[in-house]
Structure 1
Amino acid sequence: MIRNITIIGLGVIGGSLGMALKKKKPEIKVCGIDTRQEVLGEAVARKAIDWGTLHFEAAVRDAEVIFLATPMTAMPVVCQEIVPFLKPGTIITDVGSTKRYIVNTLQEILPPTVQFVGGHPMAGSEKGGLQGAHELLFENAAYILTPTLKTSSNAMETVKQLVQDVGAKVILLSPEEHDRKVAAVSHLPHLVASALVSTVGELEEREKGYFALAAGGFRDSTRIAASNSEMWCDIFLQNEKALLPLVRGFRESLERLEKYIEEKNAQALLEMLRQSRLWREGLPTGLKGIVPQLHEAVVIVPDRPGIIAELSNLLGEQGINISDIEIQPVREDDGGIIRFGFIREEWRNQAVEILQTKGFPVRKTGV
């Protein structure tokens, strides 16, 4: 039975892992290491770790499992630093978003007495750092493990069990297959979202008023563009082999759409739109993604001081956790719309019932 786990890097993923492990497996002692003492103090206060240190030796010498939750570019350097202090049989796993480079590099660095299991939780938050961490981040999230011929069955089963303990769904892929498929369903969408925001942002710079009209469609399709820029820069550059052909394919799809519109070819345009809709409707449900899609409730509210606090208190008193709040004014002095986001569907449903009972017009949206 695993008793000692170390998490190196206490950002969104590392902090959330610690919180989930302490909630689900309180008997496990979780040590955290970060570059700042104040982060360690906050992590202890939020029950993400039992204790923290700034020093590698103290953090890893007794660890049975180590989660590398640093930026991907730092992982090789971190591994080189901790190798002298690792005891035989230690299992190391990472949370990096690309796998071929990380797996190959770390397996070369680590000694044969240490086992490595590549990992990638398909979960995240728009908020960076420990403040974006949440104990439910991995609930029903896909968590990809990428064993190789060098991975022992014991190490694989140990990491798999810990991943399941925090509520995630394990998917096994080779590092190469992971990079191809995740590039298509995660990396390319982020690149497209960033390009879309950039396109409209440049229009906004020249003529104000575009963003003021940005409603649900624009916000939903560009939500992931609000994620950590440095992290995504690393991801794009490390996974260029899988990503660039997809970018070219996406450009071709846009050019086809452009051609159909230019030629007023309604039949071809309609066929492409219908096929896209069918594929979208056929997406499997039940798994969260990199930035989880929230279960939302939209409330129409009067224009009066304290209305947001009033609604938040109503829900908080019933133990309902609000993950996101967005305010959309309708007209000056005429109230507006508040969009609440919840990680759990049952919280959203309870919130709708409570607000309806209090006389607020409310409807469900989102997932």
Structure 2
Amino acid sequence: MEIKQVTIVGLGLIGGSLGLALKKARPEIKVVGVDLEQQTLDTGVAVQAVDWGTTRLSQGVKEADVVVLATLVKAMPGLVQEAAPFLKAGAIITDVGSTKAKLVKQLSALLPAGTSYVGGHPMAGAETRGIESADPYLFENAVYVLTPVPETDQGALTAVTELIRLTGAKVLLLSPEEHDAIVAAVSHLPHLTAAALVNAVARREEEVPGTFQLAAGGFRDATRIAESSPEMWQDIFLDNKETLLPMIRAYRRSLAELEEAIAGGNREKLYRLLAGAQEKRRQIPAKQKGLLPGIHEIIVTVPDQPGEIGKLAALLGIKGINIMDIEILRIREGDGGTIRVGFATAAEAGQALKVLQNNDYLAWLKQ
């Protein structure tokens, strides 16, 4: 199937980033934006995330080969109902919703004859919101889950797969039920616990003013995702409660084990629980993440100077070494910081290590 027009409904972070990535990869594809806010559409055109935009859903979808729903999940069934009379024969609907089992059934039942639906969920995002935060590289090397069911049209699945690969994402096929069970553990529970942690410490702040002023990197890292949209996450938690609630209970059991070990002064049990968590956490980068190969990592210390990360990336780029992942681990004001840099192969990591050490960086392979 030749895709000539993609219509993105909802030009927020995900919708805007998708438009930017598609226009960067295939400028000839017409990308149309649909949004409630004209200012958002104007910004989308200005940053070249879309070719043109409209506040009228019927106008935006009528010539679309693919329609991407990038709104809150609760809005999607109503949008499909509104768009249905205007979809052309052969049009494909897909979405970026964070829950799938209920949504796949709802949207599939609402589609007119001659159209297709493929559920989707990019495992990428940020705490920031809106078209202003859109990034053409948001999906680069990220896993993008598609959730076909037995009734899914194979031609539509192939077309959406090829479209998503244009963004640099790695497509992973899961059933809707598998998707919801996995994201309940690795996405939804972490957001819930981040919010709970902030609320718990906020109560301590009321009792001991100044508590938040001492919040350092560990607390900030653990609670960063609590800044995400409350409206979006309340919908996600409620839509996926059947799989999320068992994970909450499992987390409570883990907390109870630690609490009991501390209350009882059981050093052996406490050490075993902490060491077990440490060992399992260390395994995560070394294992496959969806379709991503294992990452080979280098730790680098950099001085506290403007442009140091860009300089580091340029040194590797000149040698043709591709950075697969990068993360700032620690920052010491006035004294620089520590960065983790990931590569697809051990050979690339070894080559990068030599380049950095030859340029007087303190760097070493992460074991």
Q: TM-score range by the shorter chain?
A: 0.7 to 0.9
Q: After superposition, give the CA deviation of every residue in 1:297-354 in whole Å (9 maximum; x if it has no partner).
A: 77554xxxxx76x879989999x9xx99999786xxxx466789999999xx99xx99
Q: Which residue does 2:151 correspond to in 1? A: 150
Instruction: Give the 3 Å change call, closer, same or farther, for CA 175–313 of structure 1 in structure 2.
Output: closer
Q: Give TM-score scaled by structure 2 length.
A: 0.82
Instruction: Give the 3 Å change call, closer, same or farther, for CA 247–286 of structure 1 in structure 2.
Output: closer
Instruction: Give the 3 Å change call, closer, same or farther, for CA 276–175 of structure 1 in structure 2.
Output: same
Instruction: Give the 3 Å change call, closer, same or farther, for CA 251–326 of structure 1 in structure 2.
Output: closer
The answer on 1:263 being equivalent to 2:260 is no
1 CA distance for matches of 2:193 and 2:17? Answer: 27
* Equivalent residue runs for 1:174-323 within 5 Å: 174-283=175-284, 284=287, 301=304
Q: After superposition, give the CA deviation of every residue in 1:72-103 in whole Å (9 maximum; x if it has no partner).
A: 11101111110110111100000000001111
Q: Which residue does 1:11 correspond to in 2? A: 12
Q: After superposition, give the CA deviation of every residue in 1:231-258 in whole Å (9 maximum; x if it has no partner).
A: 1111001111110111011001100110
Matched residue type, 1:87: K
Alpha carbons 1:24, 1:166 under 8 Å: kept = yes
Alpha carbons 2:14, 2:134 under 8 Å: kept = yes
Matched residue type, 1:22: K
* Equivalent residue runs for 1:21-100 within 5 Å: 21-100=22-101
Q: Which residue does 1:168 correspond to in 2? A: 169
Q: Which residue does 2:110 correspond to in 1? A: 109
Alpha carbons 2:172, 2:290 under 8 Å: kept = no
2 CA distance for matches of 1:342 and 1:35? Answer: 40
Matched residue type, 1:2: I
1 CA distance for matches of 2:121 and 2:302? Answer: 36
2 CA distance for matches of 1:157 and 1:325? Answer: 37
Instruction: Give the 3 Å change call, closer, same or farther, for CA 342–233 of structure 1 in structure 2.
Output: farther
Instruction: Give the 3 Å change call, closer, same or farther, for CA 163–155 of structure 1 in structure 2.
Output: same
Alpha carbons 1:99, 1:179 under 8 Å: kept = yes
2 CA distance for matches of 1:165 and 1:66? Answer: 16
2 CA distance for matches of 1:214 and 1:288? Answer: 36
Shift of 1:197: 1.4
Shift of 1:362: 8.3
Matched residue type, 1:183: A
Instruction: Give the 3 Å change call, closer, same or farther, for CA 147–313 of structure 1 in structure 2.
Output: closer
Alpha carbons 2:217, 2:330 under 8 Å: kept = no
Q: Give TM-score scaled by structure 1 length.
A: 0.82
Q: After superposition, give the CA deviation of every residue in 1:239-298 in whole Å (9 maximum; x if it has no partner).
A: 111101110110011001100111111222222222222221222356799xxxxx9977
Alpha carbons 1:126, 1:132 under 8 Å: kept = no
Shift of 1:216: 2.0
Alpha carbons 2:148, 2:157 under 8 Å: kept = yes
2 CA distance for matches of 1:210 and 1:344? Answer: 39
Alpha carbons 2:170, 2:291 under 8 Å: kept = no
2 CA distance for matches of 1:338 and 1:285? Answer: 28
The secondary structure found in structure 1 opposite 2:165 is helix
Shift of 1:66: 0.5
- Computed over aligned residues only, the root mean square deviation of the Cα atoms, in angstroms, reads 3.5
1 CA distance for matches of 2:364 and 2:80? Answer: 46
Matched residue type, 1:120: H
2 CA distance for matches of 1:328 and 1:257? Answer: 30
Q: Which residue does 1:292 correspond to in 2? A: none
Stretch deviating more after TM superposition (23-32 or 205-214):
205-214
The secondary structure found in structure 1 opposite 2:126 is coil
Instruction: Give the 3 Å change call, closer, same or farther, for CA 313–162 of structure 1 in structure 2.
Output: closer
2 CA distance for matches of 1:12 and 1:78? Answer: 19
- Give the gaps of 5 or more residues in structure 2: 293-297, 318-325
Matched residue type, 2:63: D
Stretch deviating more after TM superposition (219-228 or 130-139):
219-228
Alpha carbons 1:324, 1:341 under 8 Å: kept = yes
Matched residue type, 2:53: G
2 CA distance for matches of 1:109 and 1:47? Answer: 32
2 CA distance for matches of 1:71 and 1:115? Answer: 21
Alpha carbons 1:140, 1:287 under 8 Å: kept = no
Stretch deviating more after TM superposition (14-23 or 205-214):
205-214
Total equivalences in the alignment:
347
Q: After superposition, give the CA deviation of every residue in 1:196-222 in whole Å (9 maximum; x if it has no partner).
A: 111112212332332222222222222
